[in-house]
Structure 1
Amino acid sequence: MNDSPGWAVPGPSPSDGERPGAPDGRDGGEGAQPQPPAGGPKWSAEQPPPGEWSSPGAPQAPQPPQPPQVPQVPQPGAGTGWGGYGGPQGGQYGHPGGTGQWGKPPAAKPGVIPLRPLDLGEILDGAVATMRSHWRSVLPITLVVATVVQVISVLVQKYTLSDLPVASDPETSLRDVVDALGNTMLVLVANGFIQLIGTIVATAMLTMIFSRAVLGHGSTIGEAWREARPRLPRLLGLTLLLALGGVAVVLVLILPGIALGSIGVGLLGGFAAVPLVIWLGIKFSLASPSLMLEKSGVVTALRRSSKLVQGSWWRIFGITALTGLITAFVSAIIIWPLTALGLVVGLSDAGPNALENGTAATGWAALVLSAIGAIIAQTITMPIQSGVTVLLYVDQRIRREALDLELARAAGLENYGSDPAAPPTGG
């Protein structure tokens, strides 16, 4: 398969000099030889009728009658030339010899994406289209997970963070602050682990839903859970391994600064760790769908991701970063107004000193409104992020391993890929 962006046009495109009816590529333009007299050699039967491909002002020689031409039936989706309209699909652009929009051949689309290498717009559109067409399965999963996680987070912030001693309190000793911070860290780690479990469960189930949506198949919540449940322990191990690996990289690079007692060396190591962690994160970003859909082990999934990303690191990084920016912007415009409203309500209830003593941020109004905003934001953005990852995995396998042929067979399309001129038929 072609590993570069786009989709190769099947077969060579005929040039102007190779069109049926053009003798030796000469069109009667400047430098063309004069036509032979009537008594000279016979014209080839391939010559065009009078009035086509003739020199300006050249005398027209009598020509024998032409054999009847068999009209050519345009293929579905064929273009009408550069910038031409009026094809069978109406308004599609193509080049001479090409089929489909901008020279791409017509690809089967049994589900949310066409079965060919995808561009950025098609990947994002596929993720959103799955949310829209399979919302009965997608949204309940993310809504339940986000609600459970945020309820636990609200309880932790209310009954743990509110117990932290305020530094401005003169009666607070250093030992009290250290003990309170230690207990808070333990609670926050436990809360983070619960959030991690919820995210893994949602990611696993969404991966199954998106994989079936590529084939045009629906999936219920029960079906997604039954397919994802056996893979959850390995997915948890993969996620923890990647997290621990990132932490280990950072520690290794800042340890020299700590050992030497040099802040500059430590900062230099920290700055060097950031691009390295990003590089490793993108390199292994396709390990999760590989583990879930290929039913492989953790190490095998890491190898598969490294192989699929090789040569396309910058492309995958750009799509992943853009998706992160879009989801962050959507989350911000949902969460920030509700959080600000919660702080205003907290100030009105607790008085003007609420910001100084920290009670405004840990009041019920601020916590609940902020949690509602986070639930709405995660319900919307979590499927987009999971969908883009799954579709990137599918796209890379189409480019590298001709996965589109297997997907077409799985979708029940007969004769797909055997004859580029023949459209696939439903099986």
Structure 2
Amino acid sequence: MKDTPGWASPGSAPSDGHEPGTSGPTEPTDAKPAETAAPDGSAQPTAASDPAQPTQQPSDTSQDAGAKWSQEQPPAAQWSAPTGPTAPGQAPPPPPAPGGWGSQPPAGPAQGPGWGGGYAGHPGYGGWGGPPPAAKPGVIPLRPLGVGEILDGAVSTMRTYWRTVLGISLTVAVVTQVLVILLQGFVLDDNAGSEALSDPSASADEVTRALGETMVSTTVVFLISLIGTVVATALLTTVTSRAVLGRPVTTGEAWRDARPQVPRLFGLIFLLLLITFGVLAVGALPGILVGVAGSKGGGIALAVLGILGASVVALWLMIRFSLASPALMLEKQTIVKSMSRSTKLVRGSWWRVLGIQLLAGIIANIVAAIVVLPFTFLAAALSGDGVGGFVNGTGDLGWTFLIISGIGSVIGSMITFPISAGVTVLLYIDQRIRREALDLELARAAGVQGYSTGATPGS
């Protein structure tokens, strides 16, 4: 990612012994302006003539005129339009600035704010090319971020601090996946539920029992994965916040910094899940009551409509509270205050936050699916009835399938954890930069020069 503007190379230095700012003849002359013959034979006024030099007569040959034309050109990089005659008693116009027309000022020592309105430490900015680029001590520039910069910052954090990031993601993913495999292999019976649901001749009691077992299995796996996600998010939030300042952090340091807030983070996630399921239950309640009253068809239709409407409300609330996790971890806030902070930061930017979160989720899951699917089909081919049995839902999902597919899930989690956590943290930082000028505090914390005087380049 390139943050500096595309400067052209500065103009060449003045030649022929002329110094910048040196004027032409200081004494007025009463002589007629000297004329030289252009290559086409026409007389042209000379841009810089010497009064002591004899005036060229029009009777010179074209060869001599051509020679003098080439000799009397202005020095390189100082060309200016030909000027008219200088009136007696009037000083000739000053020579053009070094570097020629349209060139940038030459590089030199750092100039202060008086240089064309530029910023301290950035010579030549201001009147020439606008404000200087924002400081970038870490993975993002310290200014309001674009969508691409947020995604790039999350990936850059994973690439720059890959030992810490991948170490955290791998540890959390391995622990959670081992628990899931053990539960699915010894406790949860997914095969019985799958067979009953795929059997057209199954009775209503068998289908109900299969649905219940499937829901229990899915809920247990979801809770274990959620615990792993919360822990990974807590640790990776610390890593990303340090990466913004350009400071590395070890896994132990990340854990020591995040450990006091981990219980609150679990409470926050639990409260958000409770709000989501509560909103959905309220939406489905009218349909359930109508169905209990005797109108099963109307009750089902009303319940479906109520759940759809409640899903919209739940999504709206989840986006409003989506920045509560980094607020809780980085500001050391309580659960309620972190939710309030998220609401204030998201207000007026709901669609933007939704779009960035959705885009990051799609990208992370596509990359993870590219990794997980080959392992899943390989596991199906090496166990039970092969890929055909897996696709039809009749295959035996034994230990071979669970272990091989679990390896793919671990690799996929190593990709999704850093991206999702990094994007959330950088979104939080971006919103605070836009609303609270957090870039000033971050620059001071990173030791960037010039921010102590109130300069805000790039913001």
Under a length normalisation based on structure 1, what TM-score does the superposition of the two structures give? 0.73
Cα pair 1:347 1:355 within 8 Å, conserved? no
User: C-alpha offsets along residues 124-154 of structure 1, whole Å, 9 cap, x if unaligned?
Assistant: 1111111111111100111111111112222
The Cα RMSD (Å) is 3.5
Task: Work out whether 1:113 is the aligned partner of 2:143.
Answer: no
Q: Which amino acid aligns with 2:142?
A: L
Tell me the equivalent position of 1:141. 168
Deviation at 1:278, TM superposition (A): 1.5
Separation in 2 of the partners of 1:327 and 1:148? Answer: 21
Equivalent residue number for residue 286 of structure 1? 323
Cα distance in 2 between the residues matched to 1:358 and 1:228: 45
Q: 1:242 is matched with which residue?
A: 272
- 1:372, 1:249 → 2: CA distance? 36
| Structure 1 counterpart of 2:192, one-letter code | L
Distance (whole Å) between structure 2 residues aligned to residue 299 and residue 245 of structure 1: 13
Give the equivalent residue in structure 2 for 1:263. Answer: 300
Mapping 1:373-412, distance limit 5 Å: 373-412=408-447
Matches within 5 A, 1:152-171: 152-159=179-186, 160-162=188-190, 164=192, 166-167=195-196
Counterpart Cα distance in 2 of 1:383 and 1:133: 12
Alpha-carbon shift at residue 367 of structure 1 (Å): 1.8
Report if the CA contact (8 A) 1:98-1:104 is conserved. no
In structure 2, relative to structure 1, the CA distance for the partners of 1:158 and 1:407 (3 Å cut) is: same
How far 1:53 moved relative to its partner? 11
2:430 partner amino acid? D
How far, CA to CA, are the matches of 1:378 and 1:354 in structure 2? Answer: 23
Aligned partner letter, 1:374: S
**Gap runs ≥5 in structure 2:** 4-77, 99-104, 111-121, 292-298
Is the 2:135–2:457 contact (alpha carbons within 8 Å) kept by the matching residues of 1?
Answer: no
Partner residue of 1:233 out of 263, 266, 275:
263
Query: What is the CA–CA distance in structure 2 between the aligned matches of 1:127 and 1:250, rounded to whole Å?
Result: 32
Alignment partner of 1:315 out of 332, 348, 352: 352
Amino acid aligned to 2:433: I
> Per-residue deviation at 1:385?
0.7
The answer on whether the counterparts of 2:133 and 2:457 sit within 8 Å (CA) in structure 1 is no
Matches within 5 A, 1:26-425: 62=87, 64-67=91-94, 72-73=105-106, 97=127, 99=129, 105-159=132-186, 160-162=188-190, 164=192, 166-167=195-196, 182=212, 185-186=215-216, 188-261=218-291, 262-347=299-384, 358-360=394-396, 362-416=397-451, 418=453, 420=455
Say whether the 8 Å CA contact 1:289–1:389 is kept in structure 2: yes
CA separation of 1:130/1:155 partners in 2, compared to 1, >3 Å: closer, same or farther?
same
Shift in Å, 1:274: 2.1
Where in structure 1 are there 5+ consecutive unaligned residues? Answer: 1-5, 7-48, 78-88, 90-94
Q: 1:141-180, CA deviations, whole angstroms, 9 ceiling, x for partnerless residues? A: 1111111111222222233224636438899887677667
Deviation per CA, 1:310-361: give whole Å up to 9, x if none. 1111111111111111011111111112211221222457x9878777343x
Deviations 1:84-131 (A, max 9, x none): xxxxx9xxxxx99464xxx66311111111111111111111111111
Q: Write the letter of the residue equivalent to 1:284.
A: F
Partner Cα separation in structure 1 for residue 454 and residue 199 of structure 2: 80
Once the two structures are superposed, residues 175-220 of structure 1 have per-residue CA deviations (whole angstroms, 9 ceiling, x without a partner) of: 6776676566555544433322221111000000000010010000
Using the alignment, how far apart are the partners of 1:357 and 1:274 within structure 2? 30
SS class of match (1:229): helix
Contact 1:290 1:305 (C-alpha < 8 Å) held by counterparts: yes
Change (3 A) 1:241 1:353: closer
Q: Which amino acid aligns with 2:133?
A: P
- Which letter maps to 2:379? G
Percent identical pairs in the alignment equals: 50
Q: Secondary structure at the match of 1:231?
A: helix
Q: 2: distance between equivalents of 1:333 and 1:137?
A: 24
1:147 aligned partner, one-letter code: V
- 1:292 Cα shift? 0.4
CA 1:391 to 1:253, structure 2 compared with 1: closer, same or farther past 3 Å? same
